[in-house]
């Protein structure tokens, strides 16, 4: 799975659950900027 596909999946699931990027970031112990990078397909790490 490439970064773009993974990012779209993360964004889709997050939105289905009614979460913001910041809320997801808190649950995953990462920054909201990291979640944004994942969703944009810029980075997977």
pLDDT tens track for 27-38: 999 999 999 999
pLDDT at 1: 80
Residue-range domain boundaries for the chain? 3-39
Ramachandran angles phi, psi of 20, nearest 5°: -85, 165
- Cα 27 from Cα 3, distance rounded (Å): 21
pLDDT tens track for 7-19: 999 999 999 999 9
- For residue 26, the surrounding DSSP H or E stretch is helix 21-28
* Overall pTM surpassing 0.95 (yes/no): no
């Amino acid at each position: 799975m490439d970064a773009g596909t993974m990012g779209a999946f993360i964004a889709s699931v997050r939105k289905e659950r009614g979460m913001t990027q910041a809320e997801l970031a808190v649950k995953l112990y990462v920054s909201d900027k990291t979640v944004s990078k994942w969703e944009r397909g810029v980075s997977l790490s």
